[in-house]
Structure 1
Amino acid sequence: MTQPSAIELTQTFRHSTNLFDFEIQWTSLGDASLPPLIFIHGTPWSSRVWHNYAKSLSQYFQVYLFDNPGFGVSPLGKPIADKKDSMSAKDLLDANLAQQSQVFAALYKSWEKDWQGAKAHVVAHDHAGIMSLRAHLLHACDYRSLCLIDVVAVGPFGHPLFKLVAENEHVFTALTGPVFEGVVESYIRDAAFRALNRETMDMLKRPWIENEDGRKGFVRQMMQAHSRSTDGLEDRYHEVGSKLPVLVIWGKEDTWLPIEIAGRLKDKLQAKRVAVIEDAGHLIMYDQPGRLGVELGLWLASLE
């Protein structure tokens, strides 16, 4: 899949939680009179994974893209000065999904003011599953629909690398150069069913290997992923499907999150259906871009 010309995230949203100050970079495409559509990326990706879809669908929707804190062009959250000394190691992880969900909910509500009562369609991938569900169930973000693509949402979680990094943080933090690049590239390669072309691989891995902040950020993402939890959330998933249309899309060959998770998630959410895409792994937007585009187009067209 050839990378499209980059969409610049030209807008900045600032938000503070009880622990961090955040600056989120975002943009929108399409006429403001069109129905809103939001794409949310997971880890270790950025909004770049959605650029082809955003450009195509902006003819029919006002499309919103943003980079989560510490991903893409959005900087890491900055611990609030008078709280930092009392924060635990887990609190200091900028990839904490409770924090990121809270920031997304605030961002969503800032956009919502311009929609004249409309609700947004939300498309989420990877850990954006937990983010979108937390924002809806815990932070009262009301969606028009929710499409979940190979998402982290049903426990237990665990890519083998997560545990390895969490138990050997000092080793991975010390890695540099080609050795560290090899770790990142191997991890990304494992997410795809088909071999990624060099241009795509370089785009996906570059933020994590080009400097020390990137390397430390990648290690933090792995450590946070090891401690993911949906305690107190999964028991409420049944509320989602009763309030809004939900579609689950899954790559049949996803080795990170096996296909059986899709069926469990559908039942818990009372989703309309699961769309299984063959010859696709976790990075379904690169393995089968056309088939994912068809599923998204049919889904969104059925709701308008």
Structure 2
Amino acid sequence: MDLNEHFEHEGATIACGRAGTGPNVVFCHGTPFSSRVWSRYADALTDSFTVHLWDMPGYGQSSMTPDHPVDFGAQARAFAALLQHWKLDRPHVVAHDFGGAVSLRAALFEQAVYSSLMLVDVVAIPPSGSPFFRFVADNPTTLDAIPPYIHEAVLRAYIQNASHRGLAEDDLQALLEPWTSDSGHPAFYRQITQYDERYLVDNEGRLGELALPVHVVWGREDGWIPLQTGQRLAALIPGAEFTDVPDAGHLIQYDNPVVLANLIRSWLSRTRP
């Protein structure tokens, strides 16, 4: 599925795309990823749904200009604006990692309205962040000037670590690619240094206000965000379902794709109008 559309928001260019027919489904990616983590799932759903993909500002094919903010607040505003641009009425939303906090904040603070929300190994409540993520956040000028070959080696190890089973080389390369360009290298470290956990504290304080079907899905072997965090998140959301997936880490999309694909299709079929 190609991101063949562009939407301008607060000076940033958002790459996005849509395909298929039926109820609207929007996928949100996380960090340090892009919509590529959802592309195969989007393709598979186009027989029954109109599927929307987007790269957040500062990620993937979207603009990576240094003066554009990429924090949770900016991304939530961008998401809410993109939903209005697409003229979507109560879409289903499926979010991973950072996309969880973004989609939650858009609903809780930006008046975005969804038919349902599936949260897959999401950054949503404190504490959060892998050990490497926290290291970069604590040392903001340490790594953005390292030679490209070292930067790529660091990225390769970091992203591979998100998978429990290990990523195939072509999948790993696709996730690395946006961050190895001249603009992507500093953008990778910039999005970490702008990370602010106060947004997660704000989200957590209002989770009880959510009044929609929510399904929290978690890789049982997630080494970035423990299973217990997912269980606690589900307990904070009224009526939320919780499913843990065996043999899957943080990148559940690659570790156990059949189970995740079945969970997504079943959830969307149960919650569609």
Give the share of equivalent positions with the same residue, in percent: 38
2:178 matched residue in structure 1 = 207
For 1:110-154, what per-residue CA distance to the aligned partner results, in whole angstroms no more than 9, with x for missing partners? 222xx5xx4200000001111001110111111000000000001
Paired with 2:97 and 2:66, the residues of 1 have a C-alpha distance of: 24
Question: What is the correspondence of 1:121-270 to structure 2 with a 5 Å cutoff?
Answer: 121-209=92-180, 211-225=181-195, 227=197, 229-240=199-210, 243-270=211-238
1:83 matched residue in structure 2 = none
Residues 24 and 92 in structure 2, CA contact (< 8 A), matched pair in contact too: yes
Distance of aligned partners of 1:229 and 1:157 in 2 relative to their CA distance in 1, 3 Å threshold: farther
1:15 matched residue in structure 2 = 9
Instruction: Point out 4+ residue stretches in structure 1 off by more than 3 angstroms.
Output: 225-229
**TM-score when normalising by structure 1:** 0.85
RMSD of Structure 2 on Structure 1 (CA): 1.6
Residues 57 and 70 in structure 2, CA contact (< 8 A), matched pair in contact too: yes
Shift of residue 301, structure 1, vs aligned partner: 1.2
Paired with 2:183 and 2:65, the residues of 1 have a C-alpha distance of: 13
Moved more, 286-295 or 70-79: 70-79
Question: What is the correspondence of 1:86-101 to structure 2 with a 5 Å cutoff?
Answer: 94-101=69-76
2:34 matched residue in structure 1 = 46
Residues 119 and 142 in structure 1, CA contact (< 8 A), matched pair in contact too: yes
1:110 matched residue in structure 2 = 85
Aligned amino acid, residue 8 of structure 2: R
Shift of residue 77, structure 1, vs aligned partner: 5.1
Q: Which has the larger radius of gyration?
A: 1
Aligned residues: 272
Aligned amino acid, residue 166 of structure 2: A
Residues 216 and 230 in structure 2, CA contact (< 8 A), matched pair in contact too: yes
Aligned amino acid, residue 8 of structure 1: D
For 1:12-43, what per-residue CA distance to the aligned partner results, in whole angstroms no more than 9, with x for missing partners? 11122xxxx12111111012xx1110001011
Paired with 1:215 and 1:262, the residues of 2 have a C-alpha distance of: 31
Shift of residue 264, structure 1, vs aligned partner: 0.6
Paired with 1:77 and 1:132, the residues of 2 have a C-alpha distance of: 23
Distance of aligned partners of 1:73 and 1:228 in 2 relative to their CA distance in 1, 3 Å threshold: farther
Aligned amino acid, residue 219 of structure 1: Y
Residues 192 and 284 in structure 1, CA contact (< 8 A), matched pair in contact too: yes
